[in-house]
A and B are shown apart, each in its own frame.
Chain A
Amino acid sequence: MEQTRVPPPGKRLKRVVSPVSLYPSKPLCLSDRLSLRAYIANRVTDKLTPIHDRIFCCRSGSAADTQAIADVVTYQLGFHSIELDEPPLVETAANLFRASCYRYREELTAGILVAGWDRRKGGQVYCVPIGGMLVRQPVSVGGSGSSYIYGFMDSNYKPNMTKDQCLELTAAAVSLAMERDGSSGGVVRLASISKDGVERRVILGNQLPKYSTH
């Protein structure tokens, strides 16, 4: 008999995240809607959370769980970075997320995308979905709205795009997902991370690209 896991109640961060790996910079893109079943608890949440100077994470799943994990990892990574007296690697951050998500996999509902830039491997994207897997990917999407844009990302992503092309791609992808997924919406937050720093941008509801087939 198939056992379905009933997710615990609580604020669910359901939405689309899609960091796109681009050499050398990394646009991160998120839509903002925090839903407590049928009620939107916050329509302008910031789900792009800085973990370190050049490492961000995109949070999906339970708001409480992901906020708690992000806080823990921020502390651990900060401590590690001070010990080494060096900026931390994105892979380290991703592994710290994976360690927490895997160990407490029974209690947590957290799907996280870790993305950033470091001197060793440049721009990177790591996916830590529910269950605590860790995999590095050039492009990744997550959240409840991600199902609607797998095809879009697969067909439109090309390696070695420019930063602006990447930003446009991620903004378009998130907008398309917001159009279809009831749990995603509000505004689109973008972050572009490179050797020179982080550039953050917000695309408000009325500025979103319009796609309507009806």
Chain B
Amino acid sequence: MALSNVLHAPAAGFNFDHAARNAELEGLFDAQIPKPVKTGTTIAGVVFKDGVVLGADTRATSSEVVADKMCSKIHYIAPNIYCCGAGTAADTEKTTELLSSNLTIFSLNSGRNPRVVMAVNILQEMLYRYHGQIGASLILGGVDCTGNHLYTVGPYGSVNTMPYLAMGSGDLAALGILEDGYKPDLELDKAKELVRAAIHAGVMNDLASGNNIDICVLTRGGVDHIRPYQVSQYKDKRKTKYKYGAGTTAVLTEKVVPVKLEVVEETVQRMDTA
């Protein structure tokens, strides 16, 4: 679709340039190739009466180390569309940024607000083209003139739409809560509580999900991105400031010596401001 791809139309067929390069690099390193940062996530979304609620945890892991304790997994796509991302952190970040840019340009070109289904189609086309090499599992939610929508796009380009969805390594835990608690046309508070409970289940039962919970509520009236909605009760107390106040070290003597400066040379250079 010409309008949504600004720089140039994507080449037809599959592009495996990087896959070939990665395969060749594998044998060359003696040490372990650094593992990409994965979001190892729990993300969930629920369609309620007046819109969509998206939720995510905030832990990003690099194998067994927590790389980021306050990672933002709910990405802005358009004023009325937000996207939760699970999988390889860089892939979800860049894919959603690319989508957001393209949709903004489309909006400017056509004078229309973007629709959720358009965002989904663009993502599906792109991810399918890369045949799974882009490790991004996304949950897109938004409100547009056609209603409240919630979609999930897998790394291979498959799309599913349901009133409630969960993705990431903690999805099974979250889905258990969602399957039990979901009802059509929930009120806002119940929907927020359901999503919070679902992410909390992921945080508690999945090692790769944790820390805080972010929530994003999308309605016709606007967006409420609450970061964090629930703070982890397991926080370490660390003084992040290590600056010592004046008076910590006793001053025994004080000697002030003024330094005389002479002007040795003065040059003036005109700046060309034509």
Contacts and interface: CB of A to CB of B under 8 A. Distances in A.
B160 A34 contact: yes
Contacts, number: 40
B156 A62 contact: yes
Contacts of B157: 64, 67-68
Contact of A67 (B14, B131, B132, B158): B158
Task: Give the contact-size bracket for chain B.
Answer: 10 to 19
A39 B137 CA distance: 15
Interface stretch (A41-49, A150-158, A201-209): A41-49
A41 B154 contact: yes
Contacts of A41: 154, 158, 160
Contacts of B124: 67-68
A107 interface: yes
B182 interface: no
A39 B160 contact: no
B207 to A, nearest CB: 18
A80 interface: no
B17 to A, nearest CB: 16
A107 B14 contact: yes
Name the residue among A41, A62, A64, A68 with the largest chain B CB count within 10 angstroms. A64
A64 B172 contact: no
A70 to B, nearest CB: 11
A34 B160 CA distance: 10
Nearest to A9: B132
A101 interface: no
Nearest to A34: B160
A62 B154 CA distance: 12
A29 to B, nearest CB: 21
A8 B16 CA distance: 15
B160 A64 contact: no
Name the residue among A8, A10, A34 with the largest chain B CB count within 10 angstroms. A10
B128 interface: yes
B67 interface: no
A34 B156 CA distance: 14
14 contacts: A8-B132, A10-B154, A11-B154, A34-B158, A39-B172, A41-B154, A41-B160, A44-B162, A63-B154, A64-B154, A64-B158, A67-B159, A68-B128, A68-B157
Interface of A: 8-11, 34, 39, 41-42, 44-45, 62-64, 67-68, 107
Interface of B: 14, 124, 127-128, 131-132, 154, 156-160, 162, 172
